[in-house]
């Protein structure tokens, strides 16, 4: 061991390199890495089990005879209809329109959220003035905006967009403000020693430092946008356009419960998939920064 070669008195310096290298090597003992396949499996099997349990519980409720089978059909009736729905081209057109609305609404909400967040986080007074208002907007059920939206924009795309943006923007702004607020003071001090000021301080320190919180805000913003959009598509039905919301609406009108539940499952799956994308972004960020303990 290099560490034992240290002699008393002088003549130590040639060993310093070796000692440092030895200490570095000891402290950097790498953990064992698992193969991607086994990691994928360990992520997937709990989900499969959860799906099986959910289907089982659903079937049990149906078997208990709590509701008539045409009101609440079981998975054995719904799953074939689900297959019919997702293999239909017109269904994917409807999903396309809904996703287009979601993406546009989310993009506008992000732009507005970032703008508001950036302005408010710059000043303590603005934060005191608007901080609780933004949080209040965030907790406000988006469906409460629809009467106003319909008065302002009638039954139009704009009405839906309005509510989606109002649903998502506060969370995104809040994520950014929180990130700026929680920039570690020690990093700010280090930045000042380096002479970071003004825009440079934002570009090189505050914006990167607030990224994890900003991603969390985006993720939450997406969830609100998606909920607002579904509410909007059920309430604001524009002409004969086909969206996920109208499919749900007309399935209910026609008492086509199998179809209705199939569409609901699709809504759930889209929500999960997008959430997974955000989770992936979050995980990548955390791994790069070393915020993960495992």
Partner 1 sequence: MSQATTATPSRTAAAVRLSGVSKAFGSGDTALLALDNVSLEVSPGEFVCLLGASGCGKSTLLNLVADLDKVTAGSIDVGGARVALMFQEPALFPWLTVTGNLELALRQRGVPRQERRARAAELLASVHLSGFEKKRPHQLSGGMRQRVALARALALTVDEDGDGGRGTVLLMDEPFGALDAMTRDLLHDEIERIWRERGLTVLFVTHNVREAVRLGDRVVLLSSRPGRVVEEFAVPMERPRRIDSTEVATLAATITDRLRAEVGRHGA
Site for partner 1 in 43-72 (CB under 8 A): none
Binding partner 1 (rule: CB under 8 A), the pick from 20, 44, 49, 269 is: 20
Contacting range for partner 1; rule: CB under 8 A; set: 3-11, 129-137, 140-148, 236-244: 3-11
- 30 versus 273: smaller Cβ distance to partner 1: 30
Sign of CA dihedral 260, 85, 94, 226: positive
Q: Quick check: 27 binds partner 1 (CB under 8 A)?
A: yes
Per-residue buried b or exposed e for 63-102, using 16+ beta carbons within 10 Å of the residue's own CB: eeeeeeeeeebbbebbbebbeebeeeeebeebbebbbebb
Instruction: Say how far residue 176 (Cα) sits from the centre of its chain.
Output: 14
In whole angstroms, how close is the CB of 148 to partner 1 at the nearest point? 41
Q: How far apart are CA 212 and CA 218, in angstroms?
A: 10
- Taking the C-alpha atoms of residue 77 and residue 71, their distance in angstroms, rounded to an integer, is 12
Q: Which residue, among 150, 151, 292, 123, has the nearest Cα to 235 in the 3D structure?
A: 150
Nearer to partner 1, 207 or 223 (CB): 207
The distance of closest approach from Cβ of residue 82 to partner 1 in the complex, given in angstroms and rounded to an integer, is 43
Sign of the CA dihedral with 71 first, then 87, 233, and 253 last? negative
Q: How far apart are CA 263 and CA 251, in angstroms?
A: 9
Residue pair 168/218 in contact by the 8 Å Cβ criterion:
no
Question: Within positions 174 to 233, which residues make up the interface with partner 1, using CB under 8 A?
Answer: 186-187, 189-190, 192-196, 204-205, 208-209, 211
Nearer to partner 1, 239 or 290 (CB): 290
Question: Between 51 and 194, whose beta carbon lies closer to partner 1?
Answer: 194
Residue with smaller CB distance to partner 1, 207 or 264: 207
User: Which range binds partner 1 by CB under 8 A, 10-18, 108-116, 136-144, 222-230?
Assistant: 10-18
Binding residues for partner 1, rule: CB under 8 A, are 3, 8-10, 12-13, 16-17, 19-21, 23-24, 27-28, 186-187, 189-190, 192-196, 204-205, 208-209, 211, 288-291
């Amino acid at each position: 061991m290099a560490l034992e070669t240290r002699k008393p008195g002088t003549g130590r310096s040639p060993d310093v390199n070796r000692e440092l290298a030895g200490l570095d090597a000891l402290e950097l003992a790498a953990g064992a890495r698992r193969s991607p396949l086994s990691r994928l499996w360990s992520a997937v099997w709990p989900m499969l089990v959860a799906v099986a349990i959910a289907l089982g519980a659903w079937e049990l409720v149906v078997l208990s005879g709590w509701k008539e089978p045409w009101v609440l059909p079981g998975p054995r009736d719904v799953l074939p209809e689900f297959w019919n729905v997702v293999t239909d081209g017109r269904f994917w057109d409807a999903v396309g329109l809904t996703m287009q609305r979601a993406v546009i609404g989310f993009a506008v909400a992000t732009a507005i959220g970032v703008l508001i967040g950036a302005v408010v986080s710059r000043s303590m007074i603005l934060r005191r003035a608007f901080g609780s208002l933004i949080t209040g907007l965030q907790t406000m059920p988006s469906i409460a905006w629809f009467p106003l939206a319909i008065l302002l924009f009638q039954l139009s795309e704009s009405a839906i967009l309005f509510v989606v943006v109002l649903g998502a923007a506060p969370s995104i702004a809040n994520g950014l403000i929180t990130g700026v607020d929680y920039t570690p003071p020690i990093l700010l001090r280090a930045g000042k020693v380096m002479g970071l000021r003004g825009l440079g301080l934002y570009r090189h320190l505050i914006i990167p430092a607030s990224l994890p919180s900003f991603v969390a805000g985006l993720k939450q913003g997406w969830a609100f946008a998606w909920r607002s959009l579904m509410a909007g598509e059920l309430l604001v039905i524009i002409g004969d356009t086909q969206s996920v919301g109208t499919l749900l609406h007309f399935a209910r009108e026609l008492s086509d419960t199998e179809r209705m539940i199939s569409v609901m499952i699709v809504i759930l799956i889209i929500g999960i998939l997008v959430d997974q994308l955000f989770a992936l972004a979050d995980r990548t960020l955390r791994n790069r920064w070393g915020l993960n303990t495992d």
